[in-house]
Structure 1
Amino acid sequence: MILLFLHLHLTILPCSNVFNVKKIYDFIPKVNLEEIDRLNSLSKGEEDHRARYGLTKLSDMSKDEYKNLHLSDEKMTKSPHLYGRSWIQYKDWKRHSYMVTRKKRAVLPMQVDWRTKGVVGGVRDQGLCGACWAFSTVGIMETMSAIGNGKLVQLSVQEAIDCAGLGNSGCAGGDICLLLDWLAITKTAVDTDKQYPLRLTDGKCRVNKTASGVRVNTFTCDSFVGAEEKILDAIATHGPVAVAVNALTWQNYLGGVIQFHCSGTPADLNHAVQLVGYDLTSEVPYYIAKNSWGPEFGNAGYIHLALGSNICGLANEVASVDVL
């Protein structure tokens, strides 16, 4: 009841001043208020670009609750190059490969946003189900399907939660590359969300072996630490990618570009998102990351992550997919 009470107040507070702000702050753990102040004081750059922190729908959680409920779901279990096929192995890699120089960088579009093409579905909310790995992976599959056939259809995340093996554990966690690996090995078709609706809890697998859903044709899984130009290349010339990240400092994120205070080591990866675009024209170039914490979180459900420094570990595990 306390959590629900606070969530309602945080949602309507900007539209009304009838509530006592002090009472709301009474529900916020002191450590979160201290972290908000610390992160805001350390954020750098112009006001329009630096990350901003404040009260969100997750701010009433203790740090342990936040980590246990939202940051225990992405579990990278082996080096990315051991999955599927590397991006470098594409037969037309020579067309994609280049070194990052001003001259070469100009080959890429300065801005890419797949949302403007009508191929990116709405932001979803994983709630208390630790299935970011499924939301992000199924999300890029439905976008790649839409790019191919011109029709955006929401695919079933619940099917992945209920059915994916190879170490994936439903709402208890999984991995973006493990899911793609399982889908490729089993040739399982991902059904539509309408046919296999989201329930945000573990359930008995009801996969339809004869379903004419979306199947993985090939996929890539790579580490691009120190080579983020390849992430830009993949997004611009192929489509959105799923990445594992460290979201420990995202609990109180309101907007702007996250540039600092976000460890990028593989051991700290704990969440997964989709990178659906980037902007190289911004004062602080950034990726557009689609999250799965609902449209009211961050930038209407999105987070902007600084480009080029493996911020939040986003370059450690990068997955792309071709679908049938």
Structure 2
Amino acid sequence: MTSMRFFAAFLAFSPILGVFAAFEDPEFFEIKIDREHPEAVYKAFEEFKTKYNRKYKDASETQMRFNQFVKSYNKVNDLNAKAKESGYDTKFGINKFADLTEGEFSGRLSHVVPNNTGVPVLDLEKPFFRPAVVNKTRHKRRSTKYPDYFDLRKTLVNGESIIGPIKDQGNCACCWGFAIAGLVESVNALHSNRFRSLSDQELCDCGTNGTPGCKGGSLQNGVDYVNRYGLSADDDYPYDDTRAFTSKRCRVRETRRVVKERTFTYAAVNARKAEQQIMEVLTKWNVPVAVYFKVGDRFKAYEQGVIVEDDCRGAKDWHAGLIVGYDSISDSRGREYPYWIVKNSWGNWAEEDGYFRVIRGENWCSIESNGYAGDMKSHDDYYYYY
């Protein structure tokens, strides 16, 4: 009944609003409703509002949000149909971004183009890391043969996972800060034998060169900041997704350093050897890899499975995450696809507990071109430069 009442209200004022929307919204004609089953999308919209506790201020905003929802709904159906036709296991679905405009969603992403010029580059012939110590047991170096499957979430330090819980960056485009904080958390846990959640907010407030962190940054900003100044604990400098939309909010002098200045060091993954290097960093040194990648429709609408197809050509939005493992999967046609397991910072936005999986070894959306690994001891002699 609720969806039908909304349907009636929609018909009452949609013709007038539609005239203006057609001129204002270049994607207006994506707002298409199946005429044979119009009730499906209205029901889905009501369920979406209930699930995500959406409250709109008036009928005009409700109409606008419904229009955005219809576009998302149609895109999800189209992507699922294409995945099924191709035999992939990828599933797409309605998530918490479904009623946002293109501009609103883009505002949650970074627009800083990666630039690794002058950054030290990882060279596995000259080991960057010390041997990993997990639960006080020193691991012997393995051969160059990597295990078929590896998940760093299963690695424990003093009974706790070396990978921290999923966080949520909210409306702030500080994905780069979350990825670097997550990297440093694991490195610090490995070398201190204790996991501590570190401050994403400090990076958002302090880690760029005067640009508000909620308007974007880069992995290079993050690793360089931690190298110079260290990083405080999350509970000492807690996250507020409204704080870093303006500059000069840094309050680092008020906090204590968990990671001391000049103790964290880093290297960029060699893009030409990315798959091998990331697998070695994960398996031999028990350290995740922070990555930066372009965002297309498939990632925006992701629900579960492995994203195989790259739809990021020409994309201007970037996002960051943390590669924590890898595996392979066979699709319905018997084709095998290797994939990365990536930690995200959007809360439990998808059906994989805040993580997502993407094809490995194909540089999906540039994910293997922009990786960073870290350690807690300087090994400058092991670097070479672009």
TM-score, normalised to structure 1, is 0.80
The structure 2 residue matched to 1:295, chosen from 345, 348, 356, is 348
User: Quick one: structure 1 residues 41 and 88, their matched pair in 2 at CA, closer, same or farther if it must change by over 3 Å?
Assistant: same
User: Quick one: structure 1 residues 153 and 46, their matched pair in 2 at CA, closer, same or farther if it must change by over 3 Å?
Assistant: farther
Per the alignment, residue 197 of structure 1 pairs with 238
Whether 2:55 is the aligned partner of 1:10: answer no
What CA distance in whole angstroms lies between the structure 2 residues aligned with 1:199 and 1:26?
Answer: 29
Report deviation, 1:284: 2.2
Compare CA radii of gyration and give the structure with the larger one: 2
Q: What per-residue deviation string (whole Å, max 9, x for no partner) do you get for residues 283-313 of structure 1? A: 4221111001102434110000111111121
Whether 2:43 is the aligned partner of 1:43: answer no
CA contact (8 A) 2:200 2:239 kept: yes
Per the alignment, residue 119 of structure 1 pairs with 162
- Percent identity between matched residues is 27
- In the alignment of these two chains, the number of paired residues is 294
User: Quick one: structure 1 residues 270 and 57, their matched pair in 2 at CA, closer, same or farther if it must change by over 3 Å?
Assistant: same
Matches within 5 A, 1:181-192: 181-184=224-227, 187-192=228-233
User: Quick one: structure 1 residues 105 and 196, their matched pair in 2 at CA, closer, same or farther if it must change by over 3 Å?
Assistant: same
Matched residue SS, 1:287: strand
Whether 2:118 is the aligned partner of 1:82: answer yes
What CA distance in whole angstroms lies between the structure 2 residues aligned with 1:153 and 1:43?
Answer: 40
Q: What per-residue deviation string (whole Å, max 9, x for no partner) do you get for residues 29-69 of structure 1? A: 3332232122112226997x6211111111111233212x2
Whether 2:253 is the aligned partner of 1:208: answer yes
Moved more, 299-308 or 228-237: 228-237
What CA distance in whole angstroms lies between the structure 1 residues aligned with 2:215 and 2:277?
Answer: 31
Matched residue SS, 1:284: strand
Moved more, 231-240 or 279-288: 279-288
The structure 1 residue matched to 2:284, chosen from 237, 243, 247, is 237
Report deviation, 1:281: 6.2
Per the alignment, residue 98 of structure 1 pairs with none
Moved more, 226-235 or 208-217: 208-217
Per the alignment, residue 337 of structure 2 pairs with 284
What CA distance in whole angstroms lies between the structure 2 residues aligned with 1:27 and 1:308?
Answer: 38
TM-score, normalised to structure 2, is 0.68
Whether 2:265 is the aligned partner of 1:218: answer yes
CA contact (8 A) 1:81 1:221 kept: no
Report deviation, 1:7: 5.3
Matched residue SS, 1:208: helix
CA contact (8 A) 2:270 2:277 kept: no
Per the alignment, residue 92 of structure 1 pairs with 127
CA contact (8 A) 1:133 1:175 kept: yes
What CA distance in whole angstroms lies between the structure 2 residues aligned with 1:209 and 1:29?
Answer: 43
Listed as ranges, the gaps of 5+ residues in structure 2 are 1-44, 54-62, 131-141, 156-160, 331-335, 378-386
Q: Which amino acid aligns with 1:323?
A: M
Report deviation, 1:172: 0.8
Listed as ranges, the gaps of 5+ residues in structure 1 are 13-22, 96-103
Whether 2:228 is the aligned partner of 1:228: answer no
CA contact (8 A) 2:288 2:324 kept: yes
The structure 2 residue matched to 1:246, chosen from 294, 301, 317, is 294
Of structures 1 and 2, the one scoring higher in RCO (CA 8 A, sep 6+) is 1
The structure 1 residue matched to 2:103, chosen from 37, 55, 64, is 64
